[in-house]
Structure 1
Amino acid sequence: MKRQAGQTILYTILLLPTLLLVMSVAVELGSVQMQQLRIRSALDMAAVSAAGVVDARYYAQTGLIRLDGTRAESVGRLFLYRNLRKLGAAIGGDAGAASIAATANFIVVNQVPARDPFTGHRLDRPSICIQADVAQDSGLMRWFGMPREIQLKLHSVAEVRR
């Protein structure tokens, strides 16, 4: 009986750290995926906000809807910054949010039908396409050979609805 108790203690001593490490990596993977979803949501909200900036003068003259490219991009960058700023230290605080918003690629597509410049999907309405490169800390996954930062290339598109 004492021998079995000794084996149980030995298994516990050997397996408990391994199980804790596996559990912490699973939690870290979930955290990375959740952060990616938050950043993607910020991109989506910025794209939808920018898609609402219609060129009123062009619409009054022609009756056709198109986006005001300059204003749509500035509105999109502003909303992207505001939404990313809420993520705090995970993306580098205000400076990280400003950097991501400043370097994001905004492309306004008014001549339709067209192709999304980032994915190649068909666009049937005037649209704004956004692509952002975001560096995310890999956390505990560094212990398993992952780089310190994971580079995410995220994309969002919003079409004008008539």
Structure 2
Amino acid sequence: MSGQQGSAAITVIVLMPLLIGILAGVIELGALRVLAARVSAAADLATLAAADDQDADALLTTGKIRLPANAVPVARQFFAANLEQVAPHLVRTPDAAAAEADVAAFPDVPAIDPLTGWRYDHPTVRIAASVPVRTPLFGAVLLPSVVTINVRAASAAR
């Protein structure tokens, strides 16, 4: 009986690093999914804020909804502000990530986005960003310690 207990202990000792590595990978993958959702929400909220900031004078004179001239910088500003909540996990600062994002405004409709191919029937603000994030537990199990989250968000003024 004592020989079987000894072999069970050896099996546990041999398999423990593998089990710990799998557990670390699963935990990091779950955290990465949450982080990706938060970065995506940051882009969505930034485009909403920029599209909601409408040109009131054009609305009063023409009755049509128009994006203001500063829609792109407003979207960048809100994207950076929204990324602040996940800043410890980002490789770059939120301001740098927002500055590198491809932000475009489509005030004249209908319009086709050259990046995505999407058709816009209303004045729209779009963000396409690649945000690198740290994944330290992936690095511990010999996977990349930096993963890039790609997001695209578009919001239309209606």
Q: Taking structure 2 as the reference length, what is the TM-score of the superposition?
A: 0.89
Higher relative CO (Cα under 8 Å, sequence separation at least 6) belongs to: 2
User: Counterparts of 1:30-41 in structure 2 under 5 Å?
Assistant: 30-41=30-41
Given that 1:115 and 1:123 are in contact with CA atoms closer than 8 Å, whether structure 2 keeps it comes out as: yes
User: 2:122·2:156 contact (CA, 8 Å) conserved in 1?
Assistant: yes
List, as ranges, runs of 4+ consecutive aligned residues in structure 1 with deviation greater than 6 Å.
Answer: none
1:63 CA drift (Å): 1.6
* C-alpha distance in 2 between matches for 1:23 and 1:125: 47
Deviation at 1:22, TM superposition (A): 0.3
One-letter amino acid of the structure 2 residue matched with residue 52 of structure 1: D
- Percent of residue pairs bearing the same amino acid type: 30
Asked whether the equivalents of residues 118 and 155 of structure 1 are also in contact (C-alpha less than 8 Å), the reply is no
In structure 1, C-alpha distance between the alignment counterparts of 2:94 and 2:101, rounded to whole Å: 11
> Which residue in the other structure is 1:57 paired with?
57
Ranges in structure 1 where 5+ consecutive residues have no aligned partner: none
**Shift of residue 113, structure 1, vs aligned partner:** 2.3
Q: Return the letter of the residue paired with 1:106.
A: V
RMSD value, Cα: 1.8
CA distance in 1 between partners of 2:141 and 2:21 (Å): 11
Question: 5+ unaligned residues in a row in structure 2: which ranges?
Answer: none
Equivalent-residue separation in structure 2 for 1:112 and 1:71 (angstroms): 18
Q: Which residue of 1 aligns with 2:110?
A: 113
Partner of 2:75: 76
Aligned mates of 1:148, 1:16 — CA distance in 2: 22
Q: Which residue of 1 aligns with 2:3?
A: 3
2:22 is aligned to 22
Aligned to 1:67: 67
- Look up the SS of the partner of 1:19 in the other structure: helix
